[in-house]
Chain A
């Protein structure tokens, strides 16, 4: 069955870099786009960016300068890296599978707190 699971640090200091891994099973990353979405108290659900089945990426302009998405297909993993973190980046970060532009499977999410 399809499963997605995010892993990452619970606490990150301001100005530091956030790294989250999404490990998937039950499908191939070379067949689906993968999305990153976050949910913050201030802005609710926000689309962050995605990686295509072919490996190219696109980002929300709100994050473009500090966000990077990559993957390792041999390990069935997708990675999110975001630098220059601020307290407003506190929230839950999700990876999701893209099925013709709607998101049909989501990970459980990882809570990230940005604080010194």
Chain B
């Protein structure tokens, strides 16, 4: 099974700041990676697929990058509505999720 290690587990940032969340796979996943946002009490929402493709309707301040085993999600100009937990998911070999990053406002 492919393991996904996400960091940091929690993050505090100020409005307008740029935030980066990392995800490392236990083996090469060939860009088979998605990022999701989950607000408290809600279901996860797709942000990024294929490592760097923005899902329909997602603000352009979100972007994804990476290759091989290392991937990242960047949020430019942090907004209050971005306070949430973020999860990576690999789908190169079935599906596995990272442990999540809880993003709060400083």
When distances are taken between beta carbons in the complex, the residues of chain A under 8 Å from B87 are 44-45
Question: Is A16 among interface residues, defined by CB-CB distance under 8 A?
Answer: no
Decide if B12 is an interface residue (CB 8 Å cutoff).
no
Looking at the complex, which one of A35, A102, A106, A108 makes contact with B34 (CB distance below 8 Å)?
A102
Query: A43-59: which residues lie under 8 A (CB-CB) from chain B?
Result: 44-47, 58
Interface check B45, CB cutoff 8 A? yes
Chain A: interface residue count, which band? 10 to 19
* Count of A-B contacts judged by CB separation below 8 Å: 49
Q: Number of B residues whose C-beta is below 8 Å from A?
A: 20
Question: Is A30 engaged at the interface, CB distance under 8 Å to the other chain?
Answer: no
Q: For B97, give the chain A residue with the smallest CB separation.
A: A45
Given A44-B99, A46-B97, A101-B32, A109-B55 contact (CB < 8 Å): no
